[in-house]
Amino acid sequence: MNFLVAMSAGIFAILGMLHLVYTLHDFGERPRYFRPMDRSLLEVMRKTNMAIAPAGRDYWSGILGFNLSHSIDVLLFALFIVATAQYQILWLKPILALVGGAFAAISWRCWFHIPMLGSLIGTALMIAAWVV
């Protein structure tokens, strides 16, 4: 496997694993990573249901569930990068480049600079590995 592919997949795997660890930590009594800075909002989120499913889980559980599934998605993305390079799945390369770019754009718009930089670098390494 190409070194650039390994670096690209490694960046996404590290981001996904950190996200998973932080999310699992926040399932406890004292969340730290994904809680609102205004601690009073956390109690409100735990008592509020989402409009899309009024009889469903509370808002805080929904946020944790989203973050948990997102962590798994990023880890699977890293695995797809490795598998695509290992088995030369040519048709998947542009799709993965677009998804990596989408991660960067979404993190620029909705998250913060660490996942944005990681996504940009990981995607650039992936594209460089496939062009070389």
Task: Report the C-alpha gap between 59 and 10 in whole angstroms.
Answer: 32
| pLDDT tens by residue, 65-118 | 999 999 999 999 999 999 999 999 999 999 999 999 999 999 999 888 888 999
**How far does Cα 103 stand from its chain's mean position?**
8
Q: Where residue 19 falls among pLDDT bands split at 50, 70, 90?
A: very high
Domain positions in the chain: 3-131
CA–CA separation, 47 and 32 (whole Å): 19
pTM of the model: 0.90
Is 17's pLDDT higher than 90? yes
Is pLDDT larger for residue 71 or for residue 51?
Answer: 71
Q: Identify the residue whose tokens are 């889980």.
A: 57
